[in-house]
Amino acid sequence: MLDLLNLPDKIKLEVSKSDLIAFANHLLASHQPTIAEEEEFISIEDVMRITGKAKQTIYGRVSNNTIPYYKAEGSRKLRFKKSEIIEWMNGKKLSDEAINKEVEAYFARKKRG
């Protein structure tokens, strides 16, 4: 394996797209999140930035229980775990029940409007 740290500073390398993808997959597979990363709570504004979804869309998903969220007892403030939002975006948190709820909600909105 090529030791990139021991190469001279001014060297040109040609790397194929497949090599870059393989390297990126290796980095992702070898990354072990720390407890702090797994338990990091984020705000709805952070969820908006991560997902690209509007605040009202996120509130709708919370209402339908189709996005993982937390709310402290007696508080109205929503909190989300960053790791769970990322997993949810990758489709790992969307159960059959959640998908069915989203479909039902969609058709209920269509009937009303």
- For the chain, domains (ranges, CATH) are 35-112 (1.10.1660)
pLDDT one-digit tens code per residue, 17-37? 888 888 888 877 876 655 545
The Cα–Cα gap between 10 and 63 comes to: 55
The Cα–Cα gap between 61 and 68 comes to: 9
pLDDT one-digit tens code per residue, 42-73? 999 999 998 999 999 999 999 999 999 998 88
Asked if 78 and 71 touch (Cβ cutoff 8 Å), the reply is: yes
Amino acid, res. 49: R
Amino acid, res. 52: G
3-state secondary structure of 70: strand
- Provide the whole-model pTM: 0.47
